[in-house]
């Protein structure tokens, strides 16, 4: 039996090295597991429709791998690959749910999963003129308030409104950007827990703590340390992966006021270098094991 082949897709238009790093890291894990990887940019795979028929055109139009590891959020491309019968990890639907935080919170609420009190900002076209929802939001959530853009990572699109003036300023600036208003969990200020789930199991975990910011992200001064999660944290993180349909997930949990965990967010495209540097666990290896098993279950790869 020939070695299975995979494409590792990353975004060709993101300048940060960490995306390429994820692709190279995953490629090394694939090779260790006897898989032949090719690293490909999303803009080398064009989602095309001709005479009502879909295809992938461009450089790779005549080839197709046994599976794809999707290190990007180009969900139309992920969907198209699936439509062509290629298994994609994570699935296009799960990436779509996690990519948009409003969508993610709505999905968590469908399953009764606990997260901080949240209100989705009403849709705005162009500038914000009608502030009539503002008093109800202040009454419901209060200050300090977390404002989270629907699309964002590394804490960069997460803001803190300490008072009315800052909140109004943020609302004016964000105007038609999709975002949510969220209760600030003071008991978790500058602290969160990252649990990496693979196939429903917690495979690595770290505590992140920032001395200089309410955001515990490494990009905001978060220092990491290995952490043994409680059974409750593990169960909650696994439930998050299940309801979002993510085979692999980096789940961020906050410490609630009564000590019980609250979901902060679920990353379908979690970066795996910092958890490796903190814990010595290479999450990409169990990811590959899961994929190979899953392909066997699907009958795509034979022993
Ligand atoms: N409601 C909240 N209360 C307290 N801290 C929060 C809250 N939401 C987010 N944070 C902090 O901000 C960080 C970034 O938020 P997160 O939703 O994970 O966005 P990102 O996708 O940018 O990582 C979290 O890791 C956490 O430390
Ligand atoms: Mg996060």
What φ, ψ does residue 23 adopt, rounded to 5°? -65, -45
In a domain, 244, yes or no: yes
Residue nearest to atom 24 of ligand 1 (CA): 215
Output the CA 52–ligand 1 centroid distance in Å. 42
Q: Residues near ligand 1 with C-beta < 6 Å?
A: 116, 146, 148, 152-155, 157-158, 182-185, 188, 192, 214-217, 252, 254, 264-265
Q: Measured from the CA of 210, which atom of ligand 1 is nearest?
A: 27
Q: What is the rounded distance in angstroms from the CA atom of residue 160 to the CA atom of residue 170? A: 9
In a domain, 259, yes or no: yes
Q: Is residue 290 part of a domain?
A: no
Q: Which helix (H) or strand (E) holds 243?
A: helix 231-244
| 303, part of any domain | no
Q: CATH number of the domain that 127 lies in?
A: 3.30.1490.20
Q: Per DSSP, what are the bridge partners of residue 194?
A: 206, 252
Q: What is the DSSP string of 11-78?
A: -TT---HHHHHHHHHHHHHHHHTT-EEEEEEGGGSEEEEETTEEEEESTTTT---SEEEE-S--HHHH
In the chain, the largest separation of any two C-alpha atoms, in whole Å, equals 65
Q: Which tokens sit at 185?
A: 């969990």
Distance (angstroms) between ligand 2 centre and the Cα of 192 equals: 9
Both 108 and 194 in a single domain?
yes
Q: Is residue 53 domain-shared with residue 200, that is, in the same domain?
A: no
Look at residue 160 and tell me if it is in a domain: yes
Range of the domain at 153: 118-184
DSSP H helical ranges for 122-196: 134-141, 164-174
Is it the case that residue 49 has pLDDT exceeding 60? yes
Q: Please count the structural domains in the chain.
A: 3
184, 218, 238: which is the final residue of a domain?
184
Of the listed ligands, the closest to the CA of 158 is 1
The string of pLDDT tens digits covering residues 212-233 is 999 999 989 999 999 999 999 9
Q: What is the DSSP letter of 118?
A: E
Is 280 part of any domain? no
For residues 194 and 173, membership in a common domain is answered with: no
Q: Are residues 85 and 9 in the same domain?
A: yes
- Please indicate, yes or no, if residue 300 is contained in any of the structural domains: no
1 pLDDT above the threshold of 80: no
Examine the domain organization and report whether 102 and 204 are in the same domain: yes
| Residue 299 forms part of a structural domain | no
Q: Which two tokens stand for residue 272?
A: 């795996």
Nearest ligand to residue 263 Cα: 1
* Together in a domain, 109 and 197: yes
Give the number of the ligand closest to the Cα of residue 264. Answer: 1
Q: Are residues 42 and 145 in the same domain?
A: no
Tokens of 36: 């032949």
Dist CA 26 CA 282 (whole Å): 10
Is pLDDT of 302 > 60?
Answer: no
104 and 207 in a common domain: yes
Residue 275 confidence (pLDDT): 95
Ligand 1 atom closest to the Cα of residue 188 is 4
Q: 164 and 28, same structural domain? A: no
Model confidence at 2, pLDDT cuts 50, 70, 90, reads confident
Domain containing residue 215: CATH number: 3.30.470.20
Q: From the CA of 264, how far away is ligand 1's center (Å)?
A: 6
The residue whose CB lies within 8 Å of the most ligand 1 atoms, and thus the one to mutate among 217, 269, 271, 275, is: 217
Instruction: For residue 286, count other CB atoms closer than 10 A to its CB.
Output: 19
101 and 244 both lie in a single domain: yes
For the cut 90, the answer to whether the pLDDT of residue 172 exceeds it is yes
- Distance of alpha carbon 183 from alpha carbon 118, whole angstroms: 6
Question: Distance from the CA of 61 to the center of ligand 2, in angstroms?
Answer: 35
* Cα 115 → chain centroid: 16
CB 177 within 8 A of CB 159: no
207 pLDDT band, cuts 50/70/90, is: very high
CATH number at residue 57: 3.40.50.20
Domain edge (last residue) among 168, 184, 200 = 184
Task: Give distance in angstroms: CA of 66 to centre of ligand 2.
Answer: 31
Q: 106 and 238: one domain?
A: yes
User: Are 191 and 107 contained in the same domain?
Assistant: yes
Q: What is the pLDDT of residues 88-115, one digit of tens each?
A: 999 999 999 999 999 999 999 999 999 9
């Amino acid at each position: 039996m020939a070695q299975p082949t995979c494409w590792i897709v990353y975004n060709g238009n993101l300048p940060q090295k960490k995306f390429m790093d994820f692709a190279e890291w995953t490629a090394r894990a694939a090779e260790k597991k006897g898989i032949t990887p090719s690293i490909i940019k999303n803009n080398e795979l064009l989602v095309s429709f001709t005479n009502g028929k879909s295809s992938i055109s461009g450089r790779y139009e005549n080839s197709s791998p046994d599976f794809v590891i999707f290190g990007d959020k180009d969900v139309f491309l992920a969907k198209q690959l699936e439509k062509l019968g290629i298994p994609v990890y994570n699935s296009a639907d799960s990436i779509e749910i996690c990519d948009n935080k409003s969508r993610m919170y709505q999905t968590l609420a469908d399953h009764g999963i606990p997260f901080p009190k949240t209100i989705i900002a009403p849709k705005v076209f162009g500038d914000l003129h009608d502030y009539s929802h503002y008093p109800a939001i202040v009454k419901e959530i209060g200050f300090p308030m977390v404002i989270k853009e629907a699309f964002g990572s590394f804490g960069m699109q997460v803001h803190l409104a300490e008072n009315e003036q800052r909140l109004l300023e943020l609302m004016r600036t964000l105007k038609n950007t999709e975002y949510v208003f969220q209760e600030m969990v003071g008991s978790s200020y500058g602290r969160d827990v990252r649990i990496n789930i693979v196939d429903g199991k917690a495979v690595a975990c770290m505590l992140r703590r920032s001395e200089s910011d309410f955001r515990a992200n490494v990009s905001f001064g978060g220092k990491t340390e290995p952490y043994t999660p409680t059974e409750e944290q593990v169960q909650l993180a696994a439930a998050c992966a299940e309801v979002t349909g993510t085979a692999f997930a980096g789940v961020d949990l906050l410490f609630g006021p009564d000590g019980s965990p609250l979901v902060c967010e679920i990353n379908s495209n979690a970066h795996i270098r910092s958890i490796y540097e903190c814990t010595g666990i290479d999450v990409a290896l169990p990811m590959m094991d899961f994929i190979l098993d899953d392909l066997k279950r699907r009958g795509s790869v034979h022993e």
